[in-house]
């Protein structure tokens, strides 16, 4: 994959959560981890963010092992530090202390300089009826698109 093609999305996040606010953060990676990211070997389905002594970390982000790395292999599920400025961290910390809000990753990408970035979101969990509504609107949109294709 080329650098510009690396765009790993957490599709489950928009279905399970209502997105309130979005942030772009840097992520601290090791050498073999960035090579796996460039190959697109990342799974962020169960990943979430947490605060530890004023710093933001991401947990359960699965970056697969890089096959050509020998001795300097990384642990796929290790806790990784996210890089945000102090003002954003304080704002997120205050919001997370509210009931029902959490921080989840939405997508991982490489910027124009080749650095791995992760888009995180302040989110609130959806209720069952909200999820049903999301499915209903998605199906209606799909049916509308299909019917419009007949007239083109």
Walk me through the domains of the chain, giving residue ranges and CATH numbers. Answer: 3-126 (2.40.280.10)
| Residue 88 Cα distances to 77, 91, 92, 93, angstroms | 25, 5, 6, 9
> Does residue 18 register a pLDDT over 60?
yes
Q: Is 27 exposed, middle or buried (0-12, 13-18, 19+ CB in 10 A)?
A: buried
Tell me the mean pLDDT in the region 63-87: 85
Alpha-helical runs (H) found in the chain: 11-16, 31-39, 86-96, 128-150
**pLDDT tens per residue, range 129-152:** 778 888 898 899 999 888 888 877
Q: Three-class SS string for 62-85?
A: EECCCCCCCCCCCCCCCCEEEECC
- pLDDT classification of 65: cutoffs 50, 70, 90: confident
């Amino acid at each position: 994959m080329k650098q510009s093609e690396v765009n790993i999305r957490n599709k489950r996040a928009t279905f399970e959560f209502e997105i309130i606010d979005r942030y772009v953060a840097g992520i601290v990676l090791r050498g073999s981890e960035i090579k796996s990211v460039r190959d697109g070997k990342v799974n962020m389905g169960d990943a979430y963010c947490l605060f530890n002594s004023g710093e933001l970390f991401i947990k359960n982000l699965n970056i697969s092992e890089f096959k050509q790395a020998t001795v300097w292999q990384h642990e796929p599920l290790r806790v990784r530090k996210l890089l945000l400025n102090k003002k954003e961290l304080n704002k997120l910390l205050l919001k997370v202390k509210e009931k029902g809000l959490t921080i989840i990753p939405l997508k991982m990408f490489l910027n124009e300089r080749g650095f791995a970035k992760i888009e995180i979101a302040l989110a609130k969990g959806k209720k069952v009826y909200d999820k049903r509504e999301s499915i209903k609107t998605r199906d209606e949109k799909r049916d509308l698109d299909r019917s419009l294709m007949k007239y083109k």
